[in-house]
Amino acid sequence: MGRRNFLRSSAAFAGLGALAASLSPLRELGDYSSVDEFMQKYYKEMTPDDMAKVITRIENDVQRQYGIRPHVRDLKPMDGAEFVYCLNLTRCIGCRKCVHACVNENNQSRNPEIQYIRVLKLPHGSMDIDKADHEYNPESVPEKGFFYMPVQCQQCHNPPCVKVCPVHATWQEKDGITVIDYDWCIGCRYCEAACPYWARRFNFTKPEIPKERLNPNMSYLGNRPRKQGVMEKCHFCIQRTRVGRYPACLEVCPVGARKFGNILDPDSEVSYILREKRIFIQLKEEMGTNPRFFYYFEK
């Protein structure tokens, strides 16, 4: 072997070795994605049979990971229902019980912590969000001279997040809820940049939920555990509201500041509020997003 050939072969070997070393972190990849998951069809193109298979796969995955057999359903919107949320700012005391009830109900990651509801502490007399305190932590609430405004997905009529998604992974359903197909999202985070309410959250790493805290009552577009690298957000507790229950944040509220219901039903509480109250507002109304989430003021 000539000197040149020897040098060439050594360079090639060194190169391959370096390449292998560069790829070495991939050994920890674990259960990143199964073939079935990789090939899975878009939600709206699945037949009932496809969906049944997908649900079995999800149930198996959850059982393998958490040791609990969940009950996963693909709940469809109810006919004649369009959901609306009303929040009474006069009553809210900023206790953040809604934030934690939401985390428990919707199987959000505890580490890193993901929360759908952000409660803003605002100085008396101001609706300027730039003055909001996000990290207030006093001995007790409410504090004098302040009021509290919980913000979550506003379920807009004209959602900017849906418009910008390059792959239709998020869309608005008939009942007004904007949902995400977690198995279709590519994780570009354009929706997160587009949302004027900072309502969307990204799974920056593999979500961690303690086994004993897992809520086994799950829905496909709702609270089933998410994977690393996809978006999630408030979906009005689809696994509850589509079977006639209230969202978890409403049930836990100690002061009854939260009202939820069907705006198409004239006898619902939300219809009454929007019909009878003199003042109610949509957050950032000037954006033209037209939220289904209203703030009102009443003793």
Provide the binding-site residues for other proteins, judged by CB under 8 A: 15, 18-19, 21-26, 28-30, 32-33, 38, 42, 112, 118, 120, 128-132, 134, 151, 160, 163-169, 184-190, 192-198, 200-206, 227-231, 284, 287-288
Strand partners, 258: 87
Q: Judged by CB, which is closer to other proteins: 81, or 87?
A: 87
For the CB of residue 262, give the shortest distance to other proteins in the complex, in Å: 28
Are β-strands 83-88 and 258-262 bridged in parallel, bridged antiparallel, or unpaired?
antiparallel
Q: Judged by CB, which is closer to other proteins: 203, or 241?
A: 203
Answer for the pair 162, 137: CB distance below 8 angstroms, yes or no: no
Q: Judged by CB, which is closer to other proteins: 156, or 250?
A: 156
- Alpha carbon distance 71, 58 (integer Å): 10
Residue 88 has which token pair? 């009474």
End-to-end CA distance of the chain: 93
Strands of the 258-262 sheet, one edge to the other: 258-262, 83-88, 293-296, 280-281
Q: Judged by CB, which is closer to other proteins: 68, or 167?
A: 167
Q: Judged by CB, which is closer to other proteins: 101, or 114?
A: 114
Q: Judged by CB, which is closer to other proteins: 142, or 187?
A: 187
For the CB of residue 109, give the shortest distance to other proteins in the complex, in Å: 11
H or E, element range at 105: helix 97-105
For the CB of residue 166, give the shortest distance to other proteins in the complex, in Å: 4
- Alpha carbon distance 186, 24 (integer Å): 24
Q: Which amino acid is at 299?
A: K
- Alpha carbon distance 202, 211 (integer Å): 22
For the CB of residue 12, give the shortest distance to other proteins in the complex, in Å: 10
Strand partners, 259: 86
Q: Judged by CB, which is closer to other proteins: 233, or 240?
A: 233
For the CB of residue 39, give the shortest distance to other proteins in the complex, in Å: 10
Q: For tokens 């507790």, what's the residue? A: 237
Provide CB contacts within 8 A for 149, sequence distance 6+.
Answer: 89, 92, 119, 120, 122, 132, 295
For the CB of residue 90, give the shortest distance to other proteins in the complex, in Å: 21
For the CB of residue 191, give the shortest distance to other proteins in the complex, in Å: 10
